[in-house]
Amino acid sequence: MEYAEIFIALAVIFGLFMAWGVGANDVANAMGTSVGSKAVTIKQAFIIAAIFEFAGAYLAGGEVTKTIRKGIVDANVLSGSPELVVYGMLAALLAAAIWLLVASRAGWPVSTTHTIVGAVVGFAAVGIGIEAVQWGKVGFIVMSWVVSPALSGVISYWLFVSVQRLILDTDDPLQNAKRLVPYYIFLVGFIISLVTIFKGLKHVGLQLSVMESYLIAAVAGIVVMIIGKYFISKLSFDPAADRDFHFANVEKVFSVLMVVTACAMAFAHGSNDVANAVGPLAAVVGIAESGEVAQKSIMPSWILLLGGAGIVLGLVTYGHRVIATIGSGITELTPSRGFAATLGAATTVVIASGTGLPISTTHTLVGAVLGVGLARGIASLDLKVVRTIFLSWIVTLPAGAILAIAFFFMLKGIFS
């Protein structure tokens, strides 16, 4: 293919820029609840995210990448014109990255999944033809945008109600927290281990039966629970602290849990959202090397590494703005509320990752935070912030599409 090296170089640059945007906007979502509830400092959040986002992207990032890369545009329609796909995927990456930069500056938690899907649909429909877009797949994805915040909101709502009934509204909340929080920790360990096994170990070539998978996940959950129990036993409690805020000591116990859920959320997020940055990049590399549009192409591990590195870079350099919106803008979070929101969101992401649904982590998390807020009554939500977030979501799809169309014709003009 003519200009193959140039295309690969551009894809790497744009892919890195896009991964940076995912880090600046989306990872900030994943960490927002932990920082907002003061369970971890912003510095600790960066370290947790760097390790677990990277691990999630590298170990479990393959499945969703396939949906973004092959699912939206019909490969058969394009087989005669591979260069159009290259222009389109490059345009989609650049368009999405620029929109994420704009949104992150404003502190809007927008969806990187929406941005890239909008961009891919935009270039395919206008640049190639309406028939090139698999509208059934797009409908499936659009449906998931409504389902994911609703599902995570419901899960988080009931998780927080369970915390209220079993711990906060009892005669001895601190004793009950010490007794019951380890079981919540087990739940987190179990769920995240399951997604790693079902998703991540496919790449490594380990073939486990469903029964073996559940057994290993249960063991992992127990190990995480024992570690959590150890840290809880090391906490020192100050009865005087409860005078200002009735649950100050209880929230200390939940802080331990919040750190575990923050790691889990970062892992789940890395596995789901690295696809947005590396899917189009892998498509360009595949076409440039082979000269044809393949139905299936193997994801080279260097691409997952590049995506993971870009994500971490974006969080560290620019993530603080969106962290503020999620962490304290929507509703006031404490570690127990933050835990319910994060676990609800992580569970939803895990379900979606397992089914290959490209959900938006952002929508999932905002839905979860809303669910926890609603468990305390609508007055606890800042509806102005919620309105701004919803509006930024609506703008995201057309913004991605319009930018991608413009860049597509620009690249087409330069190279053909």
The reported pLDDT for the residue numbered 17 is 92
The reported pLDDT for the residue numbered 60 is 64
The reported pLDDT for the residue numbered 201 is 57
The reported pLDDT for the residue numbered 244 is 61
Q: Is 69:304 a contact under the CB 8 Å cutoff?
A: no
Query: What SS3 state is found at 73?
Result: strand
Q: Which H or E run contains 346? A: helix 335-355
Q: Report the 3 state secondary structure along 74-142.
A: CHHHHCCCHHHHHHHHHHHHHHHHHHHHHHHHHCCCCCHHHHHHHHHHHHHHHHHCHHHECHHHHHHHH
Cα–Cα distance measured from residue 2 to residue 349, given in angstroms and rounded to the nearest whole number: 40
Cα–Cα distance measured from residue 246 to residue 352, given in angstroms and rounded to the nearest whole number: 38
Whether the predicted pLDDT of 297 surpasses 70: no
Tokens 């380990």 -> residue: 206
Cα–Cα distance measured from residue 122 to residue 132, given in angstroms and rounded to the nearest whole number: 11
- Single-letter code of the amino acid located at 159: L
Residue 391 or 291, more confident = 391
Comparing CA positions, the residue from 29, 12, 5 lying closest to residue 346 is: 29
Cα–Cα distance measured from residue 149 to residue 372, given in angstroms and rounded to the nearest whole number: 12
Cα–Cα distance measured from residue 232 to residue 260, given in angstroms and rounded to the nearest whole number: 12
The reported pLDDT for the residue numbered 219 is 94
List, in sequence order, the alpha helices (H) in 164-207. 173-195, 201-204
In terms of residues, how long is the chain?
Answer: 416
Whether the predicted pLDDT of 238 surpasses 90: no
Backbone angles phi, psi at 350, to 5 degrees: -65, -45
- Residue 78: pLDDT band with limits 50, 70, 90: low
Whether the predicted pLDDT of 345 surpasses 60: yes
Query: What SS3 state is found at 171?
Result: coil
Considering only CA atoms, give the Rg of the chain. Answer: 22
List, in sequence order, the alpha helices (H) in 40-81. 42-60, 62-66, 75-78
Question: pLDDT of 153-191, one tens digit each?
Answer: 999 999 989 988 998 888 888 888 888 988 988 988 888
Residue 15 or 326, more confident = 15
The reported pLDDT for the residue numbered 255 is 84
At a CB cut-off of 8 Å and minimum separation 6, what does 339 contact?
Answer: 37, 159, 163, 184, 254, 257, 258, 261
Query: What SS3 state is found at 9?
Result: helix
pTM of the model as a whole: 0.79
Which pair of tokens denotes residue 11? 């894809």
The reported pLDDT for the residue numbered 99 is 92
The reported pLDDT for the residue numbered 94 is 92
Whether the predicted pLDDT of 28 surpasses 80: no
The reported pLDDT for the residue numbered 245 is 62
Count CB neighbours of 287 within 10 A. Answer: 25
Cα–Cα distance measured from residue 381 to residue 392, given in angstroms and rounded to the nearest whole number: 18
The reported pLDDT for the residue numbered 278 is 77
